[in-house]
Structure 1
Amino acid sequence: MKVINLGERSSVINSYMAQLRDVEVQKNRTLFRRNMQRIARATAYEVSRTLQYSEKAITTPLGVKQVPTYDDRIVVGTVLRAGVAFHEGFLDTFDQADSAFVAAHRDEGKREDIKIHVDYIAAPQLDGCTFLMVDPMLATGGSLELSYKAFLTHGTPAKLHICCAIAAQEGIDHLCRVFPDDVTLWVSAVDPILNDQAYIVPGLGDAGDLSFGPKLD
């Protein structure tokens, strides 16, 4: 699997990530979601540079112009609920894309006791598409792996891009073991470790709670 760490470059993405992590800025829930969307749009732009393009004849009020536009049939898939704001950012860029959703959650507790459950899936036919699997947080990689397997019940994409805002190195290593070489992982920040509860450290907290409010266990 090819790993592209956008955080290694000097770009505005790093400023968005700084705000996402800041405990004071996180008090503004609207801004937290907006920064997720900003990172998603910036990542989507980078992904767009890898697509297949061909020229199409576009009729303007004064004539016809050949314009190169992408040919890929794009589907954006995400894990509910933390991924919703991130998902919206990708749809802002790929405004003709279809969407797919899966509900996955893990049992909280010690890392060795964590179990992941998939409860719901809604997706179009995925055969032959360019599939963007977008999830803001990549911790162990287990829920993302299981969610993608659930999406495969709706067909096999021609190309797969995995897009995350923040990832733990352990999660990246796991995905490199389970996904083939032609898959690309795009990430905006990489943190070194997971704690005993498998949370990314230093991380940014719970993206779902920070976006939409705390939930009952």
Structure 2
Amino acid sequence: MRLHVADHPLITHKLTVLRDKSTPSPVFRQLTEELVTLLAYEATRNVQVESVEIETPVTATTGVRISEPRPLVVPILRAGLGMLEGMVKLLPTAEVGFLGMLRNEETLEPATYAERLPDDLSDRQCFVLDPMLATGGSLGAAVEFLFARGAQDVTAICLLGAPEGVASMKRKVGDRDVTLVLGALDERLTDKGYIFPGLGDAGDRLYGTV
């Protein structure tokens, strides 16, 4: 598994505002969209392309375009939905699927309660959106789900991650083609499985349910 922690002042600035508990939901949503677009730029660095011949106003030349089959963007419900717009803004031709993952707050184990994905993901590049990589349970289960459907490689994009979650992902994915892109790697998890210092519950803050 490859790990990329973004190192850019704009990303750090936006994360600082997201972390602030006084940031209202509308601002939180807008900044999340902007932040994901910045992270998506890093995450799509190795997106598959194919050569194409075009005519410029001056001459014929060769360029590239996103190749078929199209990439698949998979937000993990519910909080991952808040990241979707920022991702498809950069990759508008991508197909979108959905995975509903729920974490048991006592056992911290994930369960899949909904999915809307193609039956066959053979040769597909998949981009999974999940704001918080805490224990790694939900994200790890989502990645396993995609590979079981035949995905070729998976890139996960998270606003924040904890060292425990990164270690868990490394154990789960082994030598499979997985890239993890984080806005920041925080200090640790609390005894309740939350990222510290973190930004709280991303879903609650996105949708104003705190």
Could you tell me the TM-score, scaled by structure 2's length? 0.90
Residue 70 of structure 1, CA deviation: 3.1
Residue 174 of structure 1, CA deviation: 0.4
Residue 131 of structure 1, CA deviation: 0.7
Does 1:201 find its partner at 2:196?
Answer: yes
Query: Which residue does 1:20 correspond to in 2?
Result: 18
Could you tell me the TM-score, scaled by structure 1's length? 0.87
Q: Secondary structure at the match of 2:43?
A: helix
Which of 82, 99, 102 is equivalent to 1:85?
82
* Cα RMSD after superposing both structures: 1.9
| CA distance 1:102–1:197, change in 2 (3 Å) | same
Residue 92 of structure 1, CA deviation: 0.9
Query: Which residue does 2:41 correspond to in 1?
Result: 45
Does 1:174 find its partner at 2:168?
Answer: yes
Structure 1 runs (4+) greater than 6 angstroms displaced: none
CA distance in 2: counterparts of 1:76 and 1:63, whole angstroms: 35
Query: Counterparts of 1:121-200 in structure 2 under 5 Å?
Result: 121-124=115-118, 125-153=120-148, 155-181=149-175, 182-200=177-195
Query: Which residue does 1:4 correspond to in 2?
Result: 4
Q: Number of paired residues?
A: 207
Residue 114 of structure 1, CA deviation: 2.7
Gaps of 5+ in 2: none
Partners of 1:121 and 1:151 within 8 A in 2: no
Residue 35 of structure 1, CA deviation: 1.3
Post-superposition Cα deviations, 1:98-136, rounded to whole Å, max 9, x if no partner, equal 111111112223xxx333221110012311111111111
Q: Secondary structure at the match of 1:13?
A: helix
Post-superposition Cα deviations, 1:150-197, rounded to whole Å, max 9, x if no partner, equal 3345x2111111111100110000001111333111101111211121
